[in-house]
Amino acid sequence: MNKIKILRIAVQIISFFLISASFFLLSFPLKFINARDFFLSSPSLVAFAALAAQYVILSFLIVLIFVILALVLGRVFCGWVCPYGTVMDCFAFIVKPFKKWRENAPSKMLMSKYVLLVFFLALAVLGFQIVWLFEPITVFNRFLSLSFYPFINASVDKTFQYTIMNYNFGEGIYQFLRVNIFDARQMSFAYSFLFFVFFIIPVLLVLYKRRFWCRYICPLGASLGILSVKPFVKLNLQKCKLHCGKCENMCRVNAIRRDGTYIPSECVMCMDCVTLQCRQIEELKLKSEDNDKNKGVTRKQFIFWGSGVLAALYMAGRKVYASGNSVSSPVIRPPGSISERKFKQACVRCGNCMKVCVTNGLQPVMTETGLDGIWTPQMDNYIGYCEYNCNACGHVCPTQAIEALSMEEKMKRRIGKAEIIKDLCIPWRDGISCLVCEEFCPIPDKAIKFVPEIINGQQVDVPIVDLYLCIGCGVCQNQCPVEGRNRGIMVRPL
């Protein structure tokens, strides 16, 4: 095997584990590298979120790293770094003995990802951001944080529960894992199986074509492809008269033409063709002589791009997207969330805020906020609450949909308002004293006050809410001893 291919595989494995670890070990207080900083700053993601929500996202600067990488080395990110691509390559390697892929000359379908990208771009300009559904790193992170992580945590828990309780074995290993790898509590997320389904479909498409997703759909691949039409470093693929078809057939992204030349914007630099040890393909070359026929935009490309733009204009004219100017949300949003309409557009559904939420209170929304708000975070006070001394969610958000608040600001930021349900509250209903909500209220001056009242003929202290002080953290609802989803005190969205 060629040395450079071994290097590529090594880089792939290392970056897969590094990226996974940066997502997997994300927890508050933030100690490890902050997962939002690099890997969730891909150009298509950040640009589209910024366009849709119409504000500048600071991690634009980090996008420059992607851009420079693409301009110099082509789509090397896709072939060498992308963790999702690594998963697909791994799967392809596993099914290799049972499956023979046949490739022909580059298909016209390769343009489909660019058309999709233009379509997403048009939607983003109109304020409807959907790129999160297809962005590979987001899909990967969402699956890892919200589906895989709870699953593996529960499996480890159950295994050690069995060994510790029955054989008194493994206590030390278990405590180490619990303190260092997993959070202190078992997390669970609503509909977490869905994230697995969305993750596994592109991987299974490998059975049809290797790197199917990267070829035809991936918006990140498309945006890097545009940048790497003429990369600085190129493969030295000469025109070849042999037409043996070997290189053409082995290319996983269908980038090699019949005559032996290749399309730089499709090539992920996997170095498979270099390992053929064909005389024609030998080494990397800096700035090869321009032997590409492809100069500038072809007619076909123009038609494809033009159709995308036309579709966008059509949509604009019809005002397909109109969600109103709602500022308030029907659900409780994390502290520091920007106004509802912008929030739904800026949020890329990476799952970081839900993963990092210490009480597991942040849960994915399904359709409560409309179809365009699917999988955005909401605070579910039945499961958890907003911890007073914690501002983690804003600091891990890659697109600033949740503001990065300082601790002092966070402690004053109002996310909801508590309301006592007098039909359910134990002192109000039965006249039995109960002070749990007041005990848990984190506000220094206590937003829940107790006043004497005569209930059922006897005097008892009953709770009332001071709305001037209440920030809606929801710990009162979470800890209320009334059983069931409806508690004696409920926090309503603002």
Partner 1 sequence: MNNKEQTKFEKIVSKAKKFLSGKITRKSFLTILAAGVAFLAFSSNTAKKAFAQNTKSIAPRKRREVVTQYDLTAVTGEDPEQITRKSVELLGGMGKFVKTGDVVVVKPNMSWNRTPEYAANTNPAVAAAVIKMCFESGAKTVKVFDNTCNDKKLSYENSGVMKAAKEAGANVFFMDDWKYLPAKMARADALLQGWPVYRDAIECDVFINVPIAKTHGLGTLTLSIKNMMGVAGGARSQMHWEMDKKLPELIDFVSPDLNIIDAFNILTAGGPRGGNLADVVRKNTVVASTDPVLADSFVAKTFFNIEGMSIPHIKRSFEFGLGQQYTPKANIRTEKI
User: Is 438 a residue that touches partner 1 (CB under 8 A)?
Assistant: yes
CB 475 within 8 A of CB 440: yes
Q: How far does CA 466 lie from the centroid of its chain? A: 38
- The interface mask with partner 1, positions 13-52, x = CB under 8 A, is --------------xxx-----------------------
CB 441 to partner 1: min, Å: 7
Q: Which is nearer to partner 1, 372 or 387 (CB)?
A: 387
Q: Which is nearer to partner 1, 97 or 457 (CB)?
A: 97
Interface residue with partner 1 among 170, 370, 431, 442 (CB under 8 A) is 442
User: Is 184 a residue that touches partner 1 (CB under 8 A)?
Assistant: yes
Q: What angle do CA 448, 450, 451 make, to 5 degrees?
A: 135
- State how far the Cα of 431 lies from the Cα of 261, in Å rounded to an integer: 84
User: Is 462 a residue that touches partner 1 (CB under 8 A)?
Assistant: no
CB 385 within 8 A of CB 379: yes
Q: Which is nearer to partner 1, 105 or 407 (CB)?
A: 407
Structure tokens, 228: 């790497």
Give, as ranges, the residues between 341 and 360 that touch partner 1 (CB under 8 A): 358-359
# binding residues, partner 1 (CB under 8 A):
45
Residue type, 303: I
Strands (E), 287-407: 362-364, 377-379
Phi, psi of 140 (to 5 degrees): -65, -45
User: Is 457 a residue that touches partner 1 (CB under 8 A)?
Assistant: no
Give the β-pairing of 416-420 and 448-455. Answer: unpaired
Q: Which is nearer to partner 1, 96 or 285 (CB)?
A: 96
CB 478 within 8 A of CB 388: no
Interface residue with partner 1 among 205, 390, 465, 489 (CB under 8 A) is 390
Distances (CA, A) of 283 to 237, 251, 276, 286: 9, 16, 12, 10
Q: How far does CA 463 lie from the centroid of its chain? A: 41
- Sequence-distant (≥ 6) Cβ neighbours of residue 490 within 8 angstroms: 381, 418, 419, 421, 477
CB 56 within 8 A of CB 46: no
Q: Which is nearer to partner 1, 324 or 452 (CB)?
A: 452
User: Is 440 a residue that touches partner 1 (CB under 8 A)?
Assistant: yes
Interface residue with partner 1 among 146, 220, 354, 441 (CB under 8 A) is 441
Structure tokens, 184: 């202190």
Given the rule CB under 8 A, which of 81-89, 190-198, 396-404, 443-451 is the region that contacts partner 1? 443-451
- The interface mask with partner 1, positions 136-175, x = CB under 8 A, is ---------------------xxx-xx-xxx--------x
Residues at the contact surface with partner 1, assessed by CB under 8 A: 27-29, 97-98, 157-159, 161-162, 164-166, 175, 178-179, 183-186, 358-359, 387-390, 426, 432-436, 438-446, 450, 479-481
